[in-house]
Amino acid sequence: MVNPASQVKNLFTAHRNSELAVPMAKYMQDKFPFLGIKKPVRAELLKQFYRVSGILKEPFLESFVLALWEQAEREYQYAALDYIKRSLRKIGKHDLPLMERLITTKSWWDTVDMLAQHPVGTIALKYPEVIPETIAGWATGEQLWLRRSAILFQLKYKDKTDDRLLFRIIKQNADSSEFFIQKAIGWALREYSKTNPAAVRQFIAQNALPRLSVREGGKYL
């Protein structure tokens, strides 16, 4: 049987587009090389891969994710994220170290934000003990992308949001000069304001937050 990561690599390599690769890399500030496969084409190729390989019918395969993550071109990390998102029901508490590894490897907003919202958010909702055990430590640690993930992991929770926890994590990061932290604070507040505008309005009024965070967080208020 052909290795599933090799199957993806063969599909993607056959559809690389050098002309598109340049602007795609530029959009990501040239942090990663690209094959030049845009999202609609990538989605079709992955659909074909899932159909032929049957991998979605199997248990969650960490080795497949890591094999894709090791590839240089960014589309392979996007393929890993697609597979993770389709496998959320199979992911458990024991997969959180993998998500932490992915968040801190080849890190940029395009991978980190999906990992924070979907697998980390899913795990924390199913196994809330991981919040004091692990995620609380991310919020106060030195690793930028883990801190951003701690701010964002409840982003899709809506009325399941623990706003005391959200506000505590925000206050722990409110003095950060990092753009990606200030932006995450604003995004988290803006998203929660759709569910509980009064709580967000009161929190913004009563706390010293970066201007960017206030501007972003108050957009819907």
CATH number, residue 23: 1.25.10.90
Domain assignment present for residue 123? The answer is no
Q: Please report the pLDDT score of residue 1 as a whole number.
A: 53
The answer to whether 177 touches 213, Cβ cutoff 8 Å, is: no
Instruction: Decide if 209 is inside a domain.
Output: no
Instruction: For residue 174, give the H/E element and its range.
Output: none
Residue 201 lies in a domain: no
What whole-number distance in Å separates Cα of residue 120 and Cα of residue 123?
A: 5
pLDDT digits (tens, 9 = 90+) for 38-95: 999 999 999 999 999 999 999 999 999 999 999 999 999 999 999 999 999 999 999 9
Long-range contacts of 94-97 (CB under 8 A, 24+ apart): 95/60, 95/62, 95/119, 95/123, 96/120, 96/123, 96/130, 96/134
Q: Is the pLDDT of residue 128 over 80?
A: yes
Q: Cα separation of 106 and 89, whole Å?
A: 25
Whether 53 is covered by a domain: the verdict is yes
Whose CA is closest to 17, among 37, 33, 32, 44? 37
37 close to 12: Cβ distance less than 8 angstroms: yes
Q: Cα–Cα distance between 132 and 137 in angstroms, integer?
A: 8
3-state secondary structure 42-102: HHHHHHHHHHHHCHHHCCCCHHHHHHHHCCCCHHHHHHHHHHHHHCHHHCCHHHHHHHHHH
Q: Is the dihedral of CA 218, 143, 78, 132 positive or negative?
A: negative
* Main-chain dihedrals φ then ψ at residue 29, nearest 5 degrees: 55, 30
Query: What mean pLDDT do residues 90-111 have?
Result: 98
Sign, CA dihedral 9-13-14-15, equals: positive
What pLDDT does residue 2 have? 74
104 found inside a domain: no
CA distance 175 to 211: 11
Distance (Å, rounded) from C-alpha 171 to C-alpha 116? 19
Residue type, 84: I
- 66 inside domain: yes
Residue 206 in domain: no
> Cα(21)–Cα(26) distance, rounded to whole angstroms?
9
- Write out pLDDT tens, residues 1-49: 579 999 999 999 999 999 999 999 999 999 999 999 999 999 999 999 9
Q: Does residue 156 fall inside a structural domain?
A: no
Report the domain count for the chain: 1
Residue numbers of the domain that contains 69: 1-88
